[in-house]
């Protein structure tokens, strides 16, 4: 059997594409990602980056409010029983993603909890293989695999991953080991501001280490962080080493500050990287045109076509500029419509 | 949640885990941890499959911080297998059911 449309990825782009493809009666198959420790460490579990956030305040249609009853009635109980309790302050990232997934499933989307690890776009139908060994053929593919958080790439980061080094404060910050201790966040963008502000709920103090003398975060996020009495900013500084021991995990961070080349060791029980993203395009093994930063290239203006006919891209995997839930969902819809029209020209309905 | 997985706290850890005659699989989790939610169905399936051979319990690391500190839980979900009061196996992060079952079988002999 050859699938009409395979969608790879399960963030807002993937589910928006699935909703549109399913409603066009094209019976999409979604690979939402595998439940593995490696995906957990890399932040590439099913439901993507949004599932690693707290409240989502900027997704249109979800002003702050209590969604308990809505979530109970919208999401099937098999899923709902494992979700975190609703906070009552508007939709959270994980809730928004479960809602999108449910909406896609309601229209007949089939979902497989596995990673596509190999893909052959050189002949038709396209062929794919998953981590667990499943093989699938498809007339068309929508790639919506998103992006993942970067680390600095220091050997000492690797050494203490899951032992005090994390790229996701919201995933790990409330653990007992981080409580009432100083913590370090590296970065100067919105995600650094969110992580630092979030961590002040648990930490005795949060240091933001930033290599410039100003944040590139949005003003509202930067002001929130700078106004927080628990946050101290180390400007013009970069992290040289994460300090620690096998016994205790992370115990501090060594930084160097300019001008003056001043070296300083900050005591810290945890280190959180918030320094940009890498698109998840490795599994394509160079078969599609990428930018120098490895993002997928949209080859037609205002369309979601890629360099191979019948393959479309949506969301952060092709967008290093907007990177919002709503823009990802929007381009997911675009990819579905582009795909549907392309299939019609191939006499697949 | 399902009946086969008992909630254990700092005050019951000694009795329910360390003094248990049977091996005990402890699932360290927290309500805010997405991957922990994803692992829950697997842990419950293991509890059913190994009923009578392995006790399966869970510890909320928000409420039972002492247990989490004692056993150096630094990322969750973490599963610890206890035999005769000693931790003999540690599984950090999401794990497929087959691999978890293989890990248990190794210790059940």
Query: Which residues in chain B have Cβ-Cβ distances shorter than 8 Å to A172?
Result: 75-76
Composition of chain A by helix, strand, coil, percent to 5? 30, 25, 45
Q: CA triplet A60, A63, A67: central angle to 5 degrees?
A: 110
pLDDT one-digit tens code per residue, A297-341: 999 999 999 999 999 999 999 998 888 899 999 999 999 999 999
CA distances from A219 to A216, A227, A273, A324, B52 (A): 9, 12, 21, 17, 58
Flag if B73 and A177 touch (Cβ within 8 Å): yes
Task: Give domain limits for chain A.
Answer: 2-149+277-345, 155-273
Q: CB-CB: which of A37, A81, A84 is closest to B94?
A: A37
Q: Which among A35, A47, A249 is the nearest to B94, CB-wise?
A: A35
- In 3-state terms, what secondary structure has residue B94? coil
Closest by CA to A345, choosing from A302, A297, A305, A314, is A305
A189-204 pLDDT per residue, tens: 988 999 999 999 999 9
Tell which CATH classification among 3.40.50.9100, 3.30.365.10, 3.50.50.60, 3.40.640.10 matches the domain A155-273. 3.50.50.60
By the 10 Å C-beta count (0-12 exposed, 13-18 middle, 19+ buried), A236 is classed as: middle
Q: How many CA atoms lie within 13 Å of A276's alpha carbon, on the beta-carbon side?
A: 10
Q: Determine the topology of domain A2-149+277-345 in CATH.
A: FAD/NAD(P)-binding domain (3.50.50)
- Give the pLDDT confidence of A148-178 residue by residue, as tens digits: 989 998 999 988 887 889 888 877 888 888 9
Which residues does B108 contact at the CB level (< 8 Å), separation at least 6? B23, B53, B54
Q: What are the chain B neighbours of A41 within 8 Å (beta carbons)?
A: 93
Tell me whether strands A29-31 and A2-8 are parallel, antiparallel or unpaired.
Answer: parallel
Rounded to a whole number, what is the distance in Å from the CA of A60 to chain B's nearest CA?
Answer: 24
* Strand ranges for chain A from DSSP E: 2-8, 29-31, 110-112, 116-120, 126-130, 135-143, 147-149, 165-166, 182-186, 205-209, 231-234, 237-245, 249-257, 262-267, 270-273, 277-279, 311-313
Longest Cα–Cα distance of chain B, Å, equals 36
**Partner-chain residue, chosen from A36, A81, A177, that has the shortest CB–CB distance to B74:** A177
Which residues in chain A touch residue B62, judged by CB atoms under 8 angstroms apart? 174
Q: CB neighbours of A256 closer than 8 A, spacing ≥ 6?
A: A237, A238, A240, A262, A263, A264
pLDDT in the model for residue A255? 97
The sign one gets for the Cα dihedral A72, B36, B103, B21 is: negative
The pLDDT tens digits of the residues spanning A244-254 come to 998 888 999 99
B52 and A CB contact within 8 Å: no
Task: Report whether the peptide linkage leading into residue A125 is cis, meaning its omega lies within 30 degrees of zero.
Answer: yes
* Positions of B marked catalytic: 33, 36
A33 and A114 Cβ atoms separated by less than 8 Å: yes
Residue A143 has, within 13 A of its CA and on its CB side, a CA count of 35
Are A2-149+277-345 and A155-273 the same fold in CATH? yes
| Mutation site for B-interface testing, chosen from A37, A172, A180 by largest number of B Cβ within 10 Å | A37
pLDDT, one tens digit per residue, over B12-25 is: 999 999 999 999 99
ipTM over 0.95: no
Contact A174 B34 (CB under 8 A): no
Alpha carbons A330 and A12: distance in angstroms, whole number: 9
- Regarding pTM above 0.90, the answer is no
């Amino acid at each position: 059997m050859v699938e009409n449309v395979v969608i790879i990825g399960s963030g807002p782009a993937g589910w928006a594409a699935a909703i549109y493809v399913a409603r066009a009666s094209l019976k999409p198959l979604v690979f939402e990602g595998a439940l593995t420790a490696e995906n957990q460490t890399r932040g590439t579990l099913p439901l993507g980056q949004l599932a690693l956030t707290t409240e989502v305040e900027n997704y249109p249609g979800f002003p702050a409010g209590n969604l308990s009853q809505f979530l109970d009635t919208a999401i099937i109980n098999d899923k709902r029983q494992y979700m975190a309790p609703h906070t009552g302050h508007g939709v959270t990232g994980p809730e928004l993603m479960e809602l999108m997934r449910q909406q896609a499933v309601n229209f007949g989307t089939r979902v497989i909890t596995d990673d596509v690890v190999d893909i052959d776009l050189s002949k038709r139908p396209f062929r794919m293989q998953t981590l667990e060994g499943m093989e699938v053929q498809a007339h068309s593919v929508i790639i919506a695999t998103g992006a993942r958080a970067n680390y600095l790439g220091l050997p000492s980061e690797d050494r203490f991953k899951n032992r005090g080094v994390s790229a996701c404060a919201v995933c790990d910050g409330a653990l007992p080991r981080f409580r009432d201790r100083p913590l370090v966040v590296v970065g100067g963008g919105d995600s650094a501001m969110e992580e630092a502000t979030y961590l002040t709920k648990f930490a005795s103090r949060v240091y933001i280490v930033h290599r410039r003398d100003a944040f590139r975060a949005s003003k509202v996020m930067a002001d929130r962080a700078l106004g927080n009495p628990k946050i101290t900013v180390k400007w013009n500084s970069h992290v040289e080493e994460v300090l620690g021991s096998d016994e205790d995990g992370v115990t501090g961070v060594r930084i160097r500050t300019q001008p003056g080349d001043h070296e300083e060791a900050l005591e810290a029980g945890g280190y959180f990287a918030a320094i940009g993203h890498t698109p998840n395009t490795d599994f394509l093994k160079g078969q599609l045109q990428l930018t120098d930063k490895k993002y997928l290239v949209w080859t037609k203006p205002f369309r979601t076509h890629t360099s191979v006919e019948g393959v479309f891209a949506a969301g952060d995997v092709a967008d290093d500029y907007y990177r919002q839930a709503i823009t990802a969902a929007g381009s997911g819809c675009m990819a579905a419509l582009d795909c549907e029209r392309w299939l019609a020209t191939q006499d697949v309905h | 949640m399902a009946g086969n997985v008992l909630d254990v706290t700092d005050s019951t850890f000694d009795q329910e885990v360390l003094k248990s005659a049977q091996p005990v699989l402890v699932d360290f989790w927290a309500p805010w941890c997405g991957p922990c939610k994803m692992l829950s169905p697997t842990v419950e399936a293991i509890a059913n499959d190994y009923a009578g051979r392995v006790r399966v319990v869970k510890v909320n690391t928000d409420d039972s911080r002492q247990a989490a500190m004692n056993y150096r839980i630094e990322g969750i979900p973490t599963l610890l297998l206890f035999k005769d009061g000693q931790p003999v196996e540690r599984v950090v992060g999401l794990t497929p059911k087959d691999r978890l079952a293989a890990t248990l079988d190794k210790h059940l002999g």
